[in-house]
Structure 1
Amino acid sequence: MSTTPAPSPNHTSPARFYLGEVVHTRHQDLSHKLRYTVFSMFLDIDRLPEIDRLSPVLSVNRWNIFGFFEQDHMPEGYTSLRQFVLAALTDNDISFDVGQITLLAYPRFLGHAFNPLSIFFCHDQQGTLRAVLYQVRNTFGQWHHYLTEVDPSSDALAHACDKKFYVSPFIHMDCTYHFRVRQPGETASILIRQFDRNGPVLTAAFKGHEKALTTRSLLWFALRYFQGGFKILAGIHWEALKMWRKGAKLQPRPEPPAQLVTRMSADTITYGKEVQ
């Protein structure tokens, strides 16, 4: 695999912001829905010095009103995000000449961030998307990754994976995730449906629209939405309390997988009919 990225083929700016809505809908025996506005950052992981110069209120690896810290998205022992992602690909037998790697995630706000889901998009030297790495966190300080190779001849980013990592305290482990994702352009779109033997359990979606990354727009985001890890975590726990009051039962929490990355494979359970 190459350690030198090709010139960024998909966008000229090293970073973008997306403003949109997250919607979670619980199905089956317990009906529950939440909707809230968020902003996400989409960035080229090899252009962090450029991002650090985009605005006086946005910094990389140092405190600011908005910030991006590499350590938030890689385990200890790695010196860069590229090194970590290349290792994940190599360790799971995915081999191609890696070029641009982009990341969709929440930035830090006033030094804090909580990312339930971050997504790395891995392209080859010609700019074709070849792999996607999903980074999932729970509220217990744990994380896990799901990795899939992408068919370069297909425009559809649709795939499935057995649930390997405990996230919601009210959803059991015998489930399958079905992913449908669009590479960020003018819009960013993520749809994740969770199935068990009885059908859909949870639908989680995000759709955002690109916003200009300027100091003025960043300050507007700060004043209008005040989004930080503390706000997101508080919202998660508040919704959990409402579900508990509706009668949701706590599910036992197993230890996270011993390996940091699960590669999606053809032998997934694939409950549901979302992925062919």
Structure 2
Amino acid sequence: MASPSNSKEKGKSLTPTINRQLTGKKMEVFYLFWSILSRFFTSVALSLLLPFRLLLTRYRRRPPPSATQIESVTLYEGTVWHERRRPVRHSFRYSVRYALFDLDHAPHAPTDHLSANGARRIAETTGPVSLLTIPPSVGYEQNPLSIYYCYDLEGSNKLLKKCIAEVTNTPWGERVRFVFNPNSDLVAKPLHVSPFMDMLGNWSLRVNDPGDSLLVTISVQHPELGDYFLATLKAKRKPLASAHDYALFFWLMPHKVAVWIYWHALKLWWKNVSFIQHPRYTNPSYREEALKRDRKLRCCPVVGQNKDEFMLDGGCDPGIVSERNHEDRLFVWRDAKWPWC
């Protein structure tokens, strides 16, 4: 039985941690409302200016975009679907619009991403690079997932070799970047993407080579909940007639994505799904732990192909080592921006 003095000392040692967690929660709520309000007024003002900007651009004496410039951006329209199976069932879908930029030729590719040469260097490929993302609209960007498609050249053909994922969480705006196999891959969860999901488990990813249609599938494999979450993006190619169509095509698209995220977060809270605070307040070494779990995953010779061959917590038989998979995945994190930093 612990003595009163030991109990008192233990309580004192826990007090700073508890206070830090409570302070973190209060500040996150304050920053959430502040960011929503500031972005709302900024977007309203820029939306009111948008018709005048389009008219000015239309009547300004500029040469029309070339066929190469138009072809360097491909528009997609489709549906995002989320399904959570445990601890409660919850699913939803919403329409979404994406742009696929040929980074070697697109004149107005988003600036907050890798260049074509940067992506080639990371993926160790030699061919063209395309970026799938939701462009900013009227001063706001909301991109839960962007994907770089990195090709190798084989004669006159290009072969999709590697993909790079950029995952950004809401509302913090933190980002993690990593390389994955487009055919099928398994990645230890490296980022706190939702206050209703813990940091355990792995992401199973699969994408196709974008053409007239594109498909992205991500599932979560959890050591306790099993395959409890699935997200898909299915979209069809849309024609792009001019730069004017581009601005209108994505008008308020990032905002719609944010509304869906916040609305269904509120629904999960209403269904009594446990709220999980950001691990930076409770487990500052969560990134290092994700690296360790991913190294264990990559020691398996069948990563992403047969999920029965490994443990869901990322464990492998130490005697099974694949020379092809033993290297690090090269996670790169970006910290939250002000005011979340």
Q: TM-score, normalization: structure 1?
A: 0.72
Aligned partner of 2:227 among 196, 200, 224 = 200
User: Does 1:132 pair with 2:163?
Assistant: yes
1:192–1:204 contact (8 Å) kept in structure 2 = yes
Root-mean-square deviation (Å): 3.1
Q: Which of 130, 146, 156 is the matching residue for 1:118?
A: 146
Whether 1:28 and 2:86 are equivalent positions in the alignment is yes
d(CA) in 2 for partners of 1:100, 1:169: 37
Match of 1:84 in 2: 118
- For 1:266 and 1:19, locate their aligned partners in 2 and report how far apart those are by CA, in whole Å: 38
The CA distance in 1 between the partners of 2:247 and 2:300, in whole Å, is 47
**5+ residue gaps in structure 2?**
1-69, 281-285, 310-341
Structure with more of its chain in helix, by fraction: 2
| Alignment partners' CA distance in 2, 1:275 and 1:179 | 16
Task: Measure how far apart 1:243 and its partner are.
Answer: 0.5
Aligned to 1:253: 278
Answer 1 or 2: which has greater strand percent: 1
Q: More deviation in 195-204 or 30-39?
A: 195-204
The structure with the larger Rg is 2
Q: Summarize the Cα distance change of 1:86–1:257 in structure 2 as closer, same or farther, 3 Å threshold.
A: farther
Q: In structure 1, what is the Cα distance between the partners aligned to 2:256 and 2:165?
A: 22
Per-residue Cα deviation, 1:89-117 (whole angstroms, up to 9, x for no partner): 3xxxxx44x11011111122223221100
| Larger RCO, structure (CA 8 Å, separation 6 or more) | 1
Structure 1 residue matching 2:268: 3-state secondary structure: helix
Q: What residue identity is the alignment partner of 1:193?
A: S
In 2, the alpha carbon distance for the partners of 1:268 and 1:257 equals 24
Task: Say if 1:158 and 1:275, in contact at 8 Å, map to a contact too.
Answer: no
* Aligned twin of 1:174: 200
For residue 86 of structure 1, report the CA deviation from its aligned partner: 3.5
| Identity percentage of aligned residues | 26
Query: Is the 1:178–1:275 contact (alpha carbons within 8 Å) kept by the matching residues of 2?
Result: no
Whether the 8 Å contact between 2:128 and 2:150 is mirrored in structure 1 is: yes
Give the TM-score of the pair, scaled to structure 2: 0.59
Amino acid at match of 1:234: V
Structure 1 residue runs of 5 or longer lacking an equivalent are 1-11, 50-59, 61-67, 75-80, 90-94, 151-156
Measured after TM superposition, the shift of residue 130 of structure 1 is: 1.6
Q: Could you say if the C-alpha distance between residues 228 and 113 of structure 1 is closer, same or farther in structure 2, counting changes exceeding 3 Å?
A: farther
The residue aligned with 2:110 is 69
